[in-house]
Amino acid sequence: MGNNIDDAVLSKPAAVSHREKRFSKPSSGAGRRRFEIVVLSAPAIVIFFGFVILPIIFGAYYGFFRWQGFGKPSVNGTFVGLQNYVTALHDASFRNAIIHTFEFMIGSLIFQAPLAILFALLLNQKFKGRGLIRTLIFVPYVISEVIVGTGWSLLLQKTGAINEILQHFGLNGPDWLADPKIAPWTLMILITWKYVGFAVILMLAGMQSIPEELYEAAKVDGAGFWQMQRSITLPLLGPTIRIWVFLSMIGSMQLFDLVYIVWGKYVSDTAGVSTMATYMVREGRDAGNYGYGSAVALLIFLISLAVALLYQGFVLNRDLDGALTEQRQSKKREKKRLREQRKSSTALLTGEVK
């Protein structure tokens, strides 16, 4: 009996060593994987740092000077500290530009979302000429903003083609561009016409990824067309809609070209369609005060970053959590299996000792 116990005790280190080898993770490829990650991501990191991070740092630095863009700010400019930032935040025109930007951001979502979903539902059906309609809807999105702005500015003049058509029917056309009560709605229509095609393509791609079996099962249960869209299409289209909302919000925060081309740098302010970007160009580059323009650019970046982080934290993270659910569950199952194996090995070892 004593010899058996001694043999079991002596064999315990060997069993433990065997168990550690069995459950230890292989580390032979870990260093190689880290090296590959560093090598493959280094070019992207360098480009991102050079074209994103450095301009932000230099822009923040230039914002501390009253500088006309010639030479070094520390030599050819005047150091004013935070004065440019304080001036921008206290400027009523800049505050109005912020309000206008958020109004256009919310308005574009309200205008485009229903139209994009309805067009996508239509184009998701099989009928003759569907490809042509898809192309026509997407064409405005790929046309240059300069062409779009120039064309619509000519059509929407007080004596332009649209008012001429209205006058032909006995109607007096309004001043689409200069009237502050009408100009914001004009811009909203232009934005919708220009960018709704992109939203339609995204929605259509999301709808085509929904399994047909769900619709067939709903038809068997007697569900109608709109019941299926409400109960199947819209819930499963949620991640696509949230991604589009995020892209549309970021695009609205950067709205500049259409406003600058159609309304110009001065009419946009009086017409009530100025944005943060148009204010930055007007008061910075056009006024010859590049330091102030850099300060405004940094403020725009901070506002856009705050909006993006808030949206990601409260909305997009749920999609990320949902995408990682299966991976997390598989990891939990693997950990549970390893724990059970350790317990069984420990119990077997204990039984051998006894």
How far is 328 from 114, CA to CA, in rounded Å? 35
The answer to whether 162 touches 176, Cβ cutoff 8 Å, is: yes
Q: What is the pLDDT of residue 283?
A: 92
Band (pLDDT 50/70/90 cuts) for residue 15 is very low
Residues 6+ apart with CB under 8 A from 258: 145, 148, 149, 187, 190, 191, 194
Contact 87, 75 (CB under 8 A): no
pLDDT tens digits, one per residue of 127-161? 888 888 888 999 999 999 999 999 999 999 988 89
Higher local confidence (pLDDT), 12 or 349: 349
Give the whole-angstrom CA distance, residue 170 versus residue 136: 31
pLDDT at 325: 53
CA 12 – CA 289 distance, rounded (Å)? 79
φ, ψ for residue 165, nearest 5 deg? -65, -45
Question: pLDDT, tens digit, for every residue of 265-318?
Answer: 777 788 889 999 999 999 998 888 999 999 999 999 999 999 999 998 888 887
pLDDT tens-place string over residues 60-110: 999 999 998 888 888 888 999 999 999 999 999 999 999 999 999 999 999
Which residue ranges make up each domain of the chain?
90-278
Encoded tokens for 56 = 């932000």
SS3 assignment, position 122: helix
Predicted pLDDT at 265: 75
For the domain 90-278, what is the CATH superfamily, name and number? MetI-like (1.10.3720.10)
Whose tokens are 């204010």? That residue is 279
Mean pLDDT over 328-342 rounds to 73
> pTM of the entire structure?
0.78
C-alpha span between 88 and 95 (Å, rounded): 8
Nearest to 277 by CA among 116, 145, 144: 145
3-class DSSP state of 287: coil
Q: How far apart are CA 268 and CA 288, in angstroms?
A: 19
Q: In the predicted model, is pLDDT for residue 9 greater than 80? A: no
Containing 65, the helix (H) or strand (E) segment is strand 65-66
pLDDT digits (tens, 9 = 90+) for 26-44: 445 778 888 888 889 999 9
Q: Give 223-268 pLDDT, tens digit per residue.
A: 888 899 888 999 999 899 999 999 999 999 999 999 999 998 777 7
- What is the distance between the alpha carbons of residues 325 and 331, in angstroms, rounded to a whole number? 10
Render 179-229 in DSSP notation, one character per residue.
-TTTHHHHHHHHHHHHHHHHHHHHHHHHHHTS-HHHHHHHHHTT--HHHHI
Report how far apart the first and last C-alpha atoms of the chain are (Å, whole number).
10
Burial track 39-67 (b if 16+ CB lie within 10 A, e otherwise): eeeeeeeeeeeeeeeeeeeebbebbbbeb
- Residues in a beta bridge with 78: 66
Coil, helix or strand at residue 351:
helix
User: Which residue, among 175, 179, 188, has the nearest Cα to 100 in the 3D structure?
Assistant: 188
Higher pLDDT, 340 or 148: 148
| Residue 170 in tokens | 């006995």
